Structure 1
Amino acid sequence: MIFGDFGGGRTRKSFGKKEREALFLSQGGRCMYCGKKEREVTYFDVDHKTPFSRNGRDTFANLQLLCRPCNTRKGDMTDGEFRKAYGLTAASKAKNPPTKVIPQSYFEKISKSRAAKKKRSTRSRTNDFWW
């Protein structure tokens, strides 16, 4: 199954049951970022560590399972960018998901702080052009 053409003649593929289960087993049934544990692989999204939109590949080494809130929050960031932004263990050292669940409120607090900083930064730039 093909999801669509993403430019440059590249198509994103759908991941089959075997690939999803292999990721699920390798991560111990946990989200790679928050450590949330699920009983079924269907509750996780298959994520590209380097996003497909940024020339990431469909290789097993570039894939991870994330819960929907973490995957939505990550968006188009690379694994390293997300980990740095949210103060998580560096990608080079994070071979497994956290064993202790990190609450979504932790990520939400940082997201709000980042959004406020971005808003202040944008506001100060627009004031520079005020006549």
Structure 2
Amino acid sequence: MAPSASPPARTRVHHLYLAVVAAVVAGAVVGLAAPDFAQELKPIGTAFVDLIKMMISPIIFCTIVLGIGSVARAAEVGRAGAAGAARRAAHRFALQGLGPAAEPSGSRRVPIPAPGGAPA
């Protein structure tokens, strides 16, 4: 008989997920039940959002540095950059060709009224 697979152990991430859901529900309940009290809590929420904004730039910087540092050879970085630039150029070229084709003819013409008030 094959051994039964046990369910995966719950990690701290699962508990964090539940805590975030509980906080969202609690915030909604407080906002609906006691809006005046919820307004008094606004500085705490603003400070939290400011702290998150403050962390975004260093996280992005570290992600980019670690991504570049993990590449074994600099040629791979250059090749990836050249491929990205080529894809961007190809997309721009294709969109510039498709843009006028998708636009109905004459739609950019704006009637300019003559000095007498009738369109020219």
TM-score for the superposition, normalised by structure 2: 0.30
Using CA pairs under 8 Å that are at least 6 residues apart, name the structure with larger relative contact order, 1 or 2: 1
TM-score for the superposition, normalised by structure 1: 0.28
Q: As a proportion of its length, which structure holds more helix?
A: 2
Which of the pair has more CA radius of gyration? 2
